[in-house]
Amino acid sequence: MRFIRPTKVFLFVVLLSMPAAVFSQASTIDRLKAENGAYTGLDSVKVDMLNRLALENQFVSILEAFAYGREALELSVEIGYVNGEAYAYRNLGSSYAIRQDFVTAVQLLEKAQALFETIGSQRGVADCYISMGHVYRWQLDYFKAIEYQKKAADIYVKLDMPERYGVTLHNLGENYLLVGDLKTAQQVTQQATKIFMEVENKQVLTSCYKVFGQIAFERKDFKGAEGYFKEALAISDELGKDSQKEATFDVYLMLAKIYHQWGRRSDEEKMLKQGLLLAGDNVLLSQERRAYTQLVNHYFFYKEYELADKTFDAFSLINEKIYEQQKIEMANMMEQVLQTIKVANENELLKQERRLQEERITLQQYQIYFFVFSIALLGMLALLLVRSGRLRKKYTEELAATNELIEEKSKKLEELVRVKDKFFSIISHDLRSPISTLAQFVVMLKTSYKNFSDQEMEDVLEKFDSQLTSTLSLADDIILWAKAEINQAPGINDAFEVNKAIEAVVKVAAEQLRMKGIVLQSEIGNHLMVSANRDQLEFCIRNILSNSIKFTPTGGHIGIGTFSEGNMVAVKIEDNGTGISLEKQSILFQSPLKQSEGELGTDGEKGKGLGLYLVNDFIKKNGGRVEVSSEEGKGSVFTLYIPVATAS
Query: Would you place residue 450 in the very low, low, confident or very high pLDDT band (cuts 50, 70, 90)?
Result: confident
Give the CA distances from residue 605 to residues 346, 576, 608, in Å, rounded to whole numbers and listed in that order: 111, 17, 10
568: left (phi over 0), alpha (psi -120 to 50) or beta: beta
Alpha helices in 58-141 (DSSP H): 62-79, 82-98, 102-118, 122-138
Helix (H, G, I), strand (E, B) or coil at 600: coil
CB under 8 Å to 132, separation ≥6 — which residues? 106, 109, 148
What number of other Cβ atoms are within 10 A of residue 400's Cβ?
Answer: 10
Identify whether the C-beta of residue 583 lies closer than 8 Å to the C-beta of residue 609: no
* pLDDT at res. 9: 40
Helix (H, G, I), strand (E, B) or coil at 570: strand
Give the CA distances from residue 235 to residues 165, 242, 512, in Å, rounded to whole numbers and listed in that order: 21, 10, 117
Cα 568 to its chain centre, rounded Å, is: 65
Identify whether the C-beta of residue 70 lies closer than 8 Å to the C-beta of residue 92: yes
What is the pLDDT averaged over residues 515-543? 88
Query: For the chain, what is the mean pLDDT?
Result: 80
Q: Are strands 519-523 and 557-565 parallel, antiparallel or unpaired?
A: parallel
Euclidean distance between CA atoms 117 and 122, whole angstroms = 7
* pLDDT at res. 175: 94
Radius of gyration of the chain (CA): 57
Cα 75 to its chain centre, rounded Å, is: 39
pLDDT at 346 over 80: no
Euclidean distance between CA atoms 120 and 59, whole angstroms = 30
The secondary structure of the chain in percent helix, strand, coil, rounded to multiples of 5, reads 75, 5, 20
- β-partners of residue 560 are 522, 573
Q: What percent of the chain has pLDDT over 90?
A: 35
| Side chain identity, residue 4 | I
Euclidean distance between CA atoms 500 and 289, whole angstroms = 123
pLDDT at 170 over 80: yes
pLDDT at 3 over 70: no
| Side chain identity, residue 602 | T
pLDDT at 604 over 90: no
Backbone angles phi, psi at 81, to 5 degrees: -95, 90
Tell which wins on pLDDT, 402 or 199.
Answer: 199
Euclidean distance between CA atoms 98 and 139, whole angstroms = 10
Euclidean distance between CA atoms 309 and 315, whole angstroms = 10
* pLDDT at res. 13: 37
* pLDDT at res. 8: 40
Helix (H, G, I), strand (E, B) or coil at 40: coil
Nearest to 280 by CA among 329, 245, 310, 239: 245
pLDDT at 316 over 90: no
* pLDDT at res. 507: 87
pLDDT at 28 over 50: no
* pLDDT at res. 6: 39
What number of other Cβ atoms are within 10 A of residue 554's Cβ?
Answer: 10
Query: Would you place residue 169 in the very low, low, confident or very high pLDDT band (cuts 50, 70, 90)?
Result: very high
Query: Would you place residue 109 in the very low, low, confident or very high pLDDT band (cuts 50, 70, 90)?
Result: very high
Most distant pair of Cα atoms in the chain: their distance: 168
User: Which DSSP state fits 242?
Assistant: G
Nearest to 619 by CA among 570, 579, 581, 550: 570
Find the helix or strand (DSSP H, E) in which 635 lies.
strand 635-643
* pLDDT at res. 78: 84
pLDDT at 196 over 80: yes
For the chain, helix (H) and strand (E) counts, in that order, are: 22, 7
pLDDT at 356 over 60: yes
Euclidean distance between CA atoms 257 and 264, whole angstroms = 10
Query: Would you place residue 1 in the very low, low, confident or very high pLDDT band (cuts 50, 70, 90)?
Result: very low
User: Domain boundaries in the chain?
Assistant: 391-488, 489-643
Q: Which H, E and C letters describe 494-538, residue by residue?
A: EEEEHHHHHHHHHHHHHHHHHHHCCEEEEECCCCCEEEECHHHHH
Nearest to 274 by CA among 289, 305, 253: 253
Euclidean distance between CA atoms 602 and 578, whole angstroms = 8
Identify whether the C-beta of residue 97 lies closer than 8 Å to the C-beta of residue 135: yes
Euclidean distance between CA atoms 324 and 318, whole angstroms = 10
- β-partners of residue 574 are 559, 637
pLDDT at 29 over 50: no
- CA 228-231-237 angle, 5° bins: 145
Burial of residue 173 (number of CB atoms within 10 Å: 0-12, 13-18, 19+): buried
Euclidean distance between CA atoms 320 and 108, whole angstroms = 32
pLDDT at 23 over 50: no
Q: Which of 186-190, 476-480, 536-540, 582-586 has the lowest mean pLDDT?
A: 476-480
Q: What percent of the chain has pLDDT over 70?
A: 77
What is the pLDDT averaged over residues 316-339? 62
Span 569-596, pLDDT tens digits: 999 999 999 999 888 888 888 766 555 5
CB under 8 Å to 603, separation ≥6 — which residues? 516, 554
What is the pLDDT averaged over residues 502-508? 88
Backbone angles phi, psi at 180, to 5 degrees: 85, 5
What is the pLDDT averaged over residues 265-280? 91
Euclidean distance between CA atoms 369 and 363, whole angstroms = 10
pLDDT at 471 over 60: yes
CATH of domain 489-643: 3.30.565.10
pLDDT at 342 over 70: no
Nearest to 608 by CA among 553, 555, 549, 543: 543
Euclidean distance between CA atoms 630 and 642, whole angstroms = 21
pLDDT at 253 over 80: yes
Query: Would you place residue 282 in the very low, low, confident or very high pLDDT band (cuts 50, 70, 90)?
Result: confident
CB under 8 Å to 35, separation ≥6 — which residues? 49
Span 414-442, pLDDT tens digits: 766 666 666 666 565 556 556 767 777 78
pLDDT at 337 over 60: no
pTM beyond 0.95: the answer is no
What is the pLDDT averaged over residues 187-202? 92
Tell which wins on pLDDT, 617 or 439.
Answer: 617
| Side chain identity, residue 582 | L
Determine the straight-line distance between the first and last CA of the chain, rounded to whole angstroms. Answer: 134
* pLDDT at res. 194: 94
Euclidean distance between CA atoms 259 and 263, whole angstroms = 6
What is the pLDDT averaged over residues 481-509? 76
Architecture of the domain delimited by 391-488: Orthogonal Bundle (1.10)
